[in-house]
Amino acid sequence: MLDHLTVVTHPLVQHKLTIMRKKETSTAGFRRLLREISLLLAYEVTRELDMTTMTIETPICEMDAPILDGKKLALISILRAGNGLMDGILELIPAARVGFIGLYRDPETLQPVQYYAKVPDMLEDRLVIAVDPMLATGNSSVAAIDLLKEKGAKNIRFLCLLAAPEGVQRMKEAHPDVPIVTAAVDERLDDHGYIVPGLGDAGDRLFGTK
């Protein structure tokens, strides 16, 4: 069982994250680095997957070799910034089923408003990994996990790039059964719900908007 919070302190992850934080990093650079980091974070979030064995023949002899067990896992992107993590993870887990949850943050209330949801079937039989680069207030993440549970998911993990202590706490209270994997937990949120020091708006930096 993964801990409730795993901070991936691997030097490559930390180095890439620092470059992503820099305000002068270009959209192309930011996108490339997010993809690269997503591979390393995916490695951590997929620890302790169920395994079985199959009998194979190497050029030398027969052996019982380990393989993944169970239904294909479901990867859920929380739009829109979650998409920046998807391609890298899908390279590692090409057979994963993919879903999308669209939530935007009401700028006044900072509460999540759902505008889209399409997720794979049989979520109850799959490991479900929800991805969003930023765990800030935790409101959207909690709402996305609520929705996944309503659709039957029982075994959920949450992968993000950066988290605020407030978001980690909110997730822990609402969904103590959902382990979080992140590259860093920053100091705090500002009055607009941005992570400090953070990296700004992940969606804007990823897609070059604004």
Lookup result for tokens 């705090």: 188
- Judged by CB under 6 A, which stretch of 5-13, 42-50, 116-124, 189-197 contacts ligand URA? 189-197
First to last CA, the chain: 41
- The yes or no reply on residue 79 touching ligand URA (CB under 6 A) is no
Helix 11-21 crosses helix 27-45 at what angle (to 10 degrees)? 150
Of 11-19, 70-78, 176-184, 201-209, the window that binds ligand URA (rule: CB under 6 A) is 201-209
- Estimate to the nearest angstrom the gap between the alpha carbon of 159 and the chain centroid: 3
194: contact with ligand URA by CB under 6 A: yes
Binds ligand URA by CB under 6 A, chosen from 195, 208, 209, 210: 195
The Cα 178–Cα 101 span in angstroms is 17
Q: Does 161 bind ligand URA (CB under 6 A)?
A: no
3-class DSSP assignment, residue 144: helix
Residue 45 interacting with ligand URA (CB under 6 A)? no
| 204 annotated active-site | yes
User: Is 53 annotated as catalytic?
Assistant: no
User: Which of 134, 168, 171, 180 is the binder for ligand URA (CB under 6 A)?
Assistant: 134
Count Cα neighbours of 191 within 13 Å in the Cβ-side half-sphere.
Answer: 0
Closer to ligand URA by Cβ: residue 76 or 195: 195
Check if 6 is active-site: no
Alpha-carbon gap, residue 136 to 32, rounded angstroms: 22
Q: How far is the CB of 10 from ligand URA (least distance, A)?
A: 22
| Secondary structure of 98-137 as H, E, C letters | EEEEEEEECCCCCCEEEEEEECCCCHHHCEEEEECCEECC
Identify whether 105 is a catalytic site residue: yes
Annotated binding site: 80, 105, 132-140, 195, 200-202
State the residues that interact with ligand URA by CB under 6 A: 81, 134, 136, 193-195, 198, 201-203
Annotated active-site positions, please? 105, 109, 201, 204
